[in-house]
Chain A
């Protein structure tokens, strides 16, 4: 990595596992759970957060010295809301059915705690380039969990990935269905998202004993 120093690389790789925003920092969970019934929606959501967090972190870090600290939350919310409006309008223009499917959850990126958390914890105290890397890293950490959850829920729940049938045809009974496999519709319902994330946390903490709580 010639472009990035060791410290910069750490900014990106740390949030992917050991300091993951969802499973360790407990931020940004609402949207992570609600739209993961399908892999496609999870990916679109991850990309939106990547954009908002990357650009937002840079903007906040550029204006960090002129924000009065008393009203910083409103300033931050305005920056995020403006960026989210851009994402929302772009999605409505180019992927209308998808934006209908995500319904209010694109708007809820504004209140995604990862974004406020990173603004408060990082962008207010660091330069633009570092903030950008931090934003990208944390958004990728968020994306990793979303994609894992989306992958399992769509695969086990409807037997497809990104809309393509991968386990065979459930009506004609081909592929896995021929030997008696049935789609587990329960995976598509909301409680299973919580349980899948719970299992991810379990696996992660079994592998890295340092993360275990009290």
Chain B
């Protein structure tokens, strides 16, 4: 159930393009034709599905405050979270290089049509954003991290597919000249985002009330734990 909820939530409600504006550059630049849009969307799904779990492992066992405990008790106080940007981006750059090699080998035509945008996936905010949101939302298991990666990738895919289809059709309409191209794309994306906002109510119906209670207490416990840890730290300093 938790998986299903996260799945639909990341596709529709927290859609990367419409709710958080991630990956807008390539979204705007590669959405002129449906075929290239599909290729890029698939590459984004794949890269997200690989990098988010890998970065989850990095976060869990190296970066988080106290994550280095498995090395020995003397490392328990280490907090390397300031290094997360550099670690995440290194993982992403490696994975993108891998995708580039695979695509070039198996589908040269797609490789040529994507052109510069394949290496640019490395600097697509959606990919890094996925990992950073995974970190800031404290996703708990690696399965959920994988789910999060793949479903937010699908959300992005859906968005670029929709806008590419609209842009192919809009070529035949009489758009005011200064608005042609980029301007109208922005406004259509805005309107689509308004549409996607209506999905916000999707997961709040049903048996939610029964479920919310334990979740909140769990959160409170977590906060208490953090506070306790803080208190412990300060007492040790005071001593």
- Bitwise, A1-36 to B at CB < 8 A (1) or not (0) is 000000000000000000000010011111101100
Q: Say if the beta carbon of A126 comes within 8 Å of chain B.
A: no
Cβ contact of B28, chosen from A29, A77, A110, cutoff 8 A = A29
> CB distance A205 to B122 under 8 Å?
no
> CB distance B25 to A27 under 8 Å?
yes
Given A192-B190, A194-B193, A78-B132 contact (CB < 8 Å):
no
> CB distance A77 to B93 under 8 Å?
yes
Closest Cβ of chain B: how far from A190's Cβ, in Å?
6
Interface of A, helix, strand, loop or mixed by DSSP: helix
Which A residues, 54 to 81, have Cβ-Cβ distances below 8 Å to chain B? Answer: 73-74, 77-78, 81
Q: Tell me the count of chain A residues lying within 8 A, CB to CB, of chain B.
A: 49
Q: Say if the beta carbon of A212 comes within 8 Å of chain B.
A: yes
Q: Say if the beta carbon of B41 comes within 8 Å of chain A.
A: no
Cβ contact of B180, chosen from A30, A104, A192, A214, cutoff 8 A = A214
- Top 5 A-B residue pairs of the complex, sorted by shortest distance between their CB atoms: A213-B181, A198-B186, A194-B190, A205-B178, A191-B193
A interface residues (Cβ-Cβ under 8 A, vs B): 23, 26-31, 33-34, 73-74, 77-78, 81-82, 84-85, 88-89, 103-104, 107-108, 110-113, 116, 189-195, 197-199, 201-206, 209, 211-214
B interface residues (Cβ-Cβ under 8 A, vs A): 18-25, 28-29, 82-86, 89-90, 93, 119-120, 122-125, 127-129, 132-133, 136, 176-187, 189-191, 193-194, 197
Q: Show 22 residue pairs from A and B whose CB-CB distance is below 8 angstroms, ordered by the A residue.
A: A33-B24, A78-B86, A81-B89, A85-B83, A89-B82, A103-B136, A110-B128, A111-B89, A111-B125, A112-B123, A113-B25, A113-B123, A192-B190, A194-B21, A194-B186, A194-B193, A195-B187, A198-B183, A202-B183, A205-B183, A206-B178, A214-B180
